[in-house]
Structure 1
Amino acid sequence: MTMTKHILVIDSGTTGTRALIYDDRSHILTQAYTEFPNYHPAPDRVEQDATEIWDATKKMIDQALDNLKITMADIACIGITNQRATTVVWDRATGLPVTRAIVWQDTRTASRAQELAPDWGEKVYSRTGWSLAPVYSSLSLQWMLENVDGLKARAEAGELAFGTIDTWLIHCLTGGKSHVISASNASVTGSYDLLNDEWYGEWLEALGVPVSMYPSVVDDSGKVAETDPDVMGTAVPISGVIADQHAALFAQECVKPGNIKCTHGTGTFLDMLIGTEPKIDTGSGICCQIAWRKDGKTQYALEGYAGSTGSAVQWLRDGIKIISSSKESEAEAMKAEDNGGVYFVPALTGLSAPYWDSYARGMIIGITPGTTRRHIVRACLEGIVYSVRDFVNAMTEISGYEINAVAIDGGASANDLLAQFQADQLGVDVIRPRSVEATSLGAALMAGLGVGIWKTESEAFGVGRNKTTFSPKTDEETRNAQYATWERAVERSRGWSK
């Protein structure tokens, strides 16, 4: 009888941390989840305490192990997947954060991005694959160095280390021995030169950010580090480290150019694999990034994302309290035959691709005396889908690949109304796997491949997964008329807070 090989996955999201244990058939054996605080010291600020993230991570790992009555000695390897572009800075000597982390949703650098745009906008876009925007870790870093007392001098003296959440977790797991970032995460920092495959030194120099703060770039799959026995009880290889959207792309078996997936989480992310060459179109607002790097070979992807979609549903629950749970949004929206002429633009923290307007704000328009909460809930779900359609056309044009199906995942994809409306608006089949936990699965597959639990991708994908298909039911004329009204609504929300 062969022993089950256990893969521990740390899924560190924007609102919480999950520890999952997979077996060698890529089934989840157990999981433990907790939320951690997000801090909002000003309307344009979203911060986290990296120490709280690590404490939550450690507790969830212990809980998951305890659920199965196993120890770290029973773990074959570790996979990490994480929220991207969140900026953590720590003291190399103490290993402790020197200030709160700036989260990817934070928009405090919006005016700085605008200032830099005339000289640097097109230049950084053409090299990093990302439109110059507050999401850039390099801009968050510059803000920290210029606004937190003493940090600039300490950075220049080589005393400080920067990393995204994967870098920070590896730093903690290895007892401070490793300062690395996976290629997928590196490409989302707005600091990585895709054309020359290195940190974009000229840009960082212009910002006054020492490149010495940056971690070494490693493959997304392969033995990148191992845990410190003093921290975790034993040495376990960390062999899969991949940014969250990229992990979901891999888990959805999108390994051929033109394959596409859509993750509905805090934000909604549409990613298309495009192969071994980057394709950057600076006029499109669409990002080009490293999908993953395995065995030294890089695959690239295009991405469009809307920053506040799942969080708009959370706002319905926590902000105006018209639903009691995110799950209730489906049942409530189903009670309305249509949106009653109401459109909801979920630009709660600005508009992302393809507009990149950090001054846009969320908007509900079309309210009449007959409008009910059902119409508003339905309009919110529809707004998530319209946000996706906004960048689908641009992606097909840049890539040259027609979309014939979309794989969906993430918490909100369990919502049948949202899945069906997405099929109706895009005019293609929408395919949902039985488990919508694609992000953690991608990290598990990367980690298992990294230590040889599976020898090939097809072996890793070999375990059958049940899927549900939603086919379009709306004719093209109706679909386009609805979308044209949405475009009018978006136009009205733009530049609002300027």
Structure 2
Amino acid sequence: MIGGEKLSDNYIISIDQSTQGTKALLFDGGGSLIRRTDKPHAQIVNEKGWVSHDPEEIYRNTIQVVATLLEESGIDRGRVAGIGISNQRETSLAWDRTTGAPLGHAIVWQCARAADICERVERLGEAEHIRRATGMNLSPYFPASKIAWILEHVEGAKEKAEEGHICHGTIDSWLIYKLTGGRSYKTDYSNASRTQLFNIFELRWDADICRLFGIDPANLAEVCDSDSDFGETDLEGLLPRPVPIHGVLGDSHGSLFGQGCLKPGMIKSTYGTGSSIMMNIGEAPVLSTHGVVTSLAWSMDGKVNYVLEGNLNYTGAVITWLKDDLKLISSPAETEELSRAAVRDDSLYLVPAFSGLGAPYWDSRATAAIVGMTRTTGRAEVVRAGVECIAYQITDIVKAMSEDAQVKVEELRVDGGPTRNRYLMQFQGDIAQAVVQVPDSEELSGIGPAYAAGLALGVWDERIFDKLKRVTYEPHMDDTLRDRKYQGWKSAVETILTR
């Protein structure tokens, strides 16, 4: 009971801290999303192309979006039962363990300033050791080298680390520390698994890998179950009493959980600027041999679930390119009608390797190409090729995961803005030979930790996963046509591979 009310009569707040901004989401006791507020933060890019965020701004915005949420909703603040947090995953920072003052700006996941540190580690012959322990290829994308860069380049960081007066890690740990007034320095298994410092098989910070990056494991956050109690907060006086932070997940993991992908073989794809495709592979890890990475989905009630994950740089970004650079469309909404208007038998393919090819090809020197132009190729055909390349890329990863996990994928749960394109969703189902399920909410990364918190606190039970209503797209393309189209895509990719 809270304030004399049943837990089911209360509310859960979810904080979704993303690359562009911070959202606050309010859920009622029935699991319905009843209010959302958001606030962007500055993208700090210097002359070297380094991308940074101001941690203090992110924290101030977190408090502000929750304050606005509570004010606009008008709810009884005493009925807030708990809080969930999702976060941009690999963005890394350090702060003084005593004062809480940040040691410089956070290094955003997109920033490759630590590439030379990865090259140094690779020259030691340790790349394969790191992959076998962490499930991921050595890369400046991950926090290991980012934290090492901070320790090597930020004034005072090395000295504080040697004295044990430093905290460093991902945005979830920073928010937990700040929200609890410095009493809690924790992270969850999903975020830990993306640092390239965590042994996903032994479920601990890997001392040998930490040593390679000059990091003392004693200075890293305590790793906890994703649905555990991370500490209490009153949100700097916004609530009449402290409530527990009871669900923490990296954003892609939050989306997987929010989609209800709780069993091995269940898979989700988030369509955004890029895309994250994740498959739950259960309690036994599988190291990929088909170009995707292995990571932890979460740990709940003391049990871990593993995932296979593939990330794409250019999915929704292709639509932006068609609009802003080629001027072929004035808004993304036009792509559906143009795709339907294109010549049906036109054999055009767009391979969007604008910054190389990622999973499952991993060819950083590949360049983008339009392949298969004929006299019938025009504006509509180019736009349709841009739309269809999104589905082809995701199908490549789905097939790779299917082979790694030895599981036939029959359903793909999806989320993100491009899922509003009905042509794309139908084509995705046809090419992947899977039923595509589109939920009625786009807030899946925030829904996941809210569900985790509400389940842990007893606000709702697992029937909450039935809350989302879904639009279903059944595959109906002729097998011969599908095979011809997909083989055409594979051939188009082959023309740009450099290895």
Normalising by structure 1, we get a TM-score of 0.90
- Which residue of structure 2 lines up, in the alignment, with residue 483 of structure 1? 486
Contact 1:312 1:348 in 2 (8 A): no
Output aligned runs, 1:132-171, within 5 Å.
132-171=138-177
Distance 2:13 2:452 in 1: 12
**Quick check: 1:235 aligned with 2:242?**
yes
Distance 2:215 2:32 in 1: 43
Normalising by structure 2, we get a TM-score of 0.89
Structure 2 residue runs without a partner (length 5+): none
- Which residue of structure 2 lines up, in the alignment, with residue 258 of structure 1? 265
Greater radius of gyration (CA):
2
**Quick check: 1:225 aligned with 2:231?**
yes
- Which residue of structure 2 lines up, in the alignment, with residue 395 of structure 1? 401
Cα RMSD (Å): 2.7
SS of the residue 1:223 aligns to = coil
- Which residue of structure 2 lines up, in the alignment, with residue 55 of structure 1? 60
Choose the corresponding residue for 1:192, options 183, 198, 215.
Answer: 198
Contact 1:291 1:298 in 2 (8 A): yes
Could you report, residue by residue, the CA deviation over 1:218-241 in whole angstroms, capped at 9, with x for unpaired residues? 111132211156454431111111
Percent identity (aligned): 37
Distance 1:339 1:5 in 2: 56
- Which residue of structure 1 lines up, in the alignment, with residue 426 of structure 2? 420
Distance 2:260 2:96 in 1: 39
Distance 2:336 2:465 in 1: 31
Choose the corresponding residue for 1:82, options 83, 87, 92.
Answer: 87
Code of the residue aligned with 2:136 in structure 1: it is W
- Which residue of structure 1 lines up, in the alignment, with residue 451 of structure 2? 445
Change (3 A) 1:359 1:142: farther
Displacement of 1:110:
4.2
Displacement of 1:397:
1.7
Displacement of 1:83:
1.7
Distance 1:143 1:55 in 2: 26
Displacement of 1:28:
0.7
Structure 1 residue runs without a partner (length 5+): none
**Quick check: 1:355 aligned with 2:358?**
no
Code of the residue aligned with 1:443 in structure 2: it is P
**Quick check: 1:31 aligned with 2:42?**
no
- Which residue of structure 2 lines up, in the alignment, with residue 180 of structure 1? 186
Question: Higher mean Cα deviation, 115-124 or 180-189?
Answer: 115-124
Code of the residue aligned with 2:469 in structure 1: it is N
**Quick check: 1:17 aligned with 2:22?**
yes
Change (3 A) 1:379 1:126: same
Change (3 A) 1:145 1:240: same
- Which residue of structure 1 lines up, in the alignment, with residue 465 of structure 2? 461
Could you report, residue by residue, the CA deviation over 1:364-411 in whole angstroms, capped at 9, with x for unpaired residues? 555678755544433332222222122222211221211111111122
Question: Higher mean Cα deviation, 486-495 or 46-55?
Answer: 486-495
Displacement of 1:80:
0.9
Displacement of 1:197:
1.0
SS of the residue 1:222 aligns to = coil
Code of the residue aligned with 2:248 in structure 1: it is V
Could you report, residue by residue, the CA deviation over 1:44-76 in whole angstroms, capped at 9, with x for unpaired residues? 533222222222222211121122113643311
**Quick check: 1:473 aligned with 2:480?**
no
- Which residue of structure 2 lines up, in the alignment, with residue 41 of structure 1? 46
Q: How many matched pairs? A: 492
SS of the residue 1:302 aligns to = strand
Change (3 A) 1:323 1:155: farther
Output aligned runs, 1:73-152, within 5 Å.
73-110=78-115, 112-114=117-119, 116-117=121-122, 119-152=125-158
SS of the residue 2:9 aligns to = coil
Distance 2:242 2:434 in 1: 47
